[in-house]
Amino acid sequence: MNTIYKHRRISFWLFSAFIFLSFGFSPINDNNFFFKINKGIDTFGKVYQEIANNYVEKIDPERLMHASIDGMLDELDPYTQFFDESETDEVELITTGKYGGVGITIGIRDGYVTVMSLMEGYSAQRQGIIPGDKIIEIDGKNIVGVKAEEVRRLTRGDPFTEVKVKVDRDGEKEPLDFSLMREEIQLKSVTYSDFIEPGLAYLRLERFTRTTGEDVRFALQELKMRGEITSLILDIRDNPGGLLDAAVEVAETFLPKNTLIVSTKGREGTNLPQRDYRTSRDPLIRNIPLVVLANRNSASASEIVAGAIQDDDRGIILGTRTYGKGLVQTILNLPYNAQLKITSAKYYTPSGRCIQEIEYNEKHGGVFSAAPESLRKEFTTIHNRKVKDLGGITPDTLVEPLEVSSLYKALMQKSFLFKYANAFVSANKEMPLELPSDNAMLSDFKRFVADKQFTFEDESETKLKEISDLATKSKMSSTLITKLDEVKDQLTKEKDSSYERSKHDIVRTLKMEIMSRYRGEKGRIEFSLKDDEQVLAAVGILKSKEVYSRLLSPQIQEAKANEGKKKE
């Protein structure tokens, strides 16, 4: 891992948060600038002191200070944050992927703090907590109605300490009591790796922490022990990023030694000059076809990896455009164990492009706006393919996920798919040898939601209702009102068949949820890969040497560009 030593402090570059550096002002030779800083400090200190001492109501000085800091940071980007002493464990969690806890992921469902998933091998799973359990007490404290953040604070703590949890569970008449032991939880970077077909490997990477580079190499070496890897799918969809060093280590798994991966550059005149990050060793996976899956939630360190692979023409980026976070954060140690995470630099891919989408120093109408398409500049890859800056990484092959129905969205919003999986597992303590057929599961699910008196209104009904109300208020002809009523009846008939039209999405999600109950997150992912549109597209490309080669040639991009111009 790259380190910078200054005043005996070890500094780590990272993304989505996280470099440790010594605290101090930047050496900017501007007397007026320093005068403004000193003037601001003096003025702020005096205002703070006067309010704390003389305000008509008694105030909490710490709360006032935190509000002042938050107000100041609101003028900057959302990644610049202040952490007081009680929040520093959040920084440790994201940088190291470790925390003291019991191994559960929670969310709010129907007003209850609900167990969403379990981490394999930790106390909650070993003691018998299951997804869907509603947490009602922690150490004797009633937490019904309490925010999820407060529950996380109560369940986390030093390893080898005990926490007592009481839960309500579907199918159980009385609440269940559990005594859980907090442990050091290590979040996994690689959540799944296996062969989809002989020779075709798949690896899902969900975060970038200090161990991510090692985790990726270990997973690939383990696969290589089971068989030859002839092609690979690297899945970084929904990966929010993490440490820059980890991104460099992942990229150098695929790129030749001494290849430029990323450059960082701070504001001119600061103590953060441009720095280039290159691969320091030979790649573990070389010369085989590679497809990287990315989407709109792939950010930061994920975009560094995707950008390096794209600019070097090492592989194909498939999916949708990425998030567009090209900013570097530094964490500064402050007095009283507080910390400041501050955006201190931008990063640039090997071709020289910054993929940051939003300029946070500019506001239009009080809000930040994304860079318009007209301002995006062209750069070139090693093979002279054209790529653009700003607005994230544009994939070499665009594969949009299929749009889901309004019925499916409503079912998800009200957690009915999650609840059905809980009910299914409650009725089937052991996993059946074979899950019900799609038709049988959909029929059973429809009965389940009917019993819960589920109703929904799709967009067409909402729009028609607005038109009908407007027609009535405007006293339009009875003929028109009758026609609108006929359309409403037709929509009702169409709505009755919406379950059948949404069968694929509903049943697929139900089976994924059920598999996660029996086989954990690995079971969920394994099942999801069978009909994942983007995975299937990647498999098709990797199976065709001709298609793979053509996608990495500049002629293909020229043809696409010309086709786009004709459409315009």
- Asked about 351 being catalytic, the answer comes back as no
Find residue 190's DSSP bridge partners. 205
Residue 314 in 3-state DSSP? coil
- In a 10 Å sphere around its CB, with 0-12 CB exposed, 13-18 middle and 19+ buried, how is residue 311 labelled? buried
Adjacent-strand bridge partners of 181: 162
Angle at 402 between CA 556 and CA 498, to 5 degrees: 155
Strand partners, 368: 363
Instruction: Name the strand (E) or helix (H) holding 203.
Output: strand 200-205
From CA 223, how far away is CA 209, in angstroms rounded? Answer: 22
The catalytic position among 235, 311, 312, 396 is 311
Are 182 and 509 in contact by the 8 Å Cβ rule? The answer is no
d(CA 349, CA 355): 8
532 catalytic residue (yes or no): no
Local structure of residue 337 (DSSP, 8 states) = G
**325 a catalytic residue:** yes
Long-range (24+ apart) CB contacts under 8 A made by 506-509 are: 506/408, 506/411, 506/417, 506/442, 506/445, 507/438, 507/441, 507/442, 507/445, 509/408, 509/412, 509/417
Geometric angle at alpha carbon 312, from 308 and 313, rounded to 5°: 115
Q: What is the dihedral of CA 75, 81, 82, 87, to 10 degrees?
A: 150
Give the SS3 label for residue 400. coil
Q: What is the DSSP letter of 208?
A: B
**Which residue is associated with the tokens 């019904």?**
144
Query: What is the rounded distance in angstroms from the CA atom of residue 488 to the CA atom of residue 345?
Result: 56
Residue among 325, 341, 419, 511 flagged as catalytic: 325
DSSP string, 81-128: EEE-GGGHHHHHHHHHSEEEE-SEEEEEETTEEEEEEE-TTSHHHHHT
Taking each helix axis as running N to C, give the angle between helix 61-73 and helix 31-54, from 0 to 180 degrees, rounded to the nearest 10: 150
Q: At 262, list the tokens.
A: 């990323």
58-62: list long-range contacts, CB under 8 Å, 24+ apart: none
Q: What is the per-residue DSSP string for 13-81? A: -BSSS--EE---------HHHHHHHHHHHHHHHHHHHHHHHH-SS---HHHHHHHHHHHHHTTS-TT-E
List the catalytic residues: 300, 311, 325
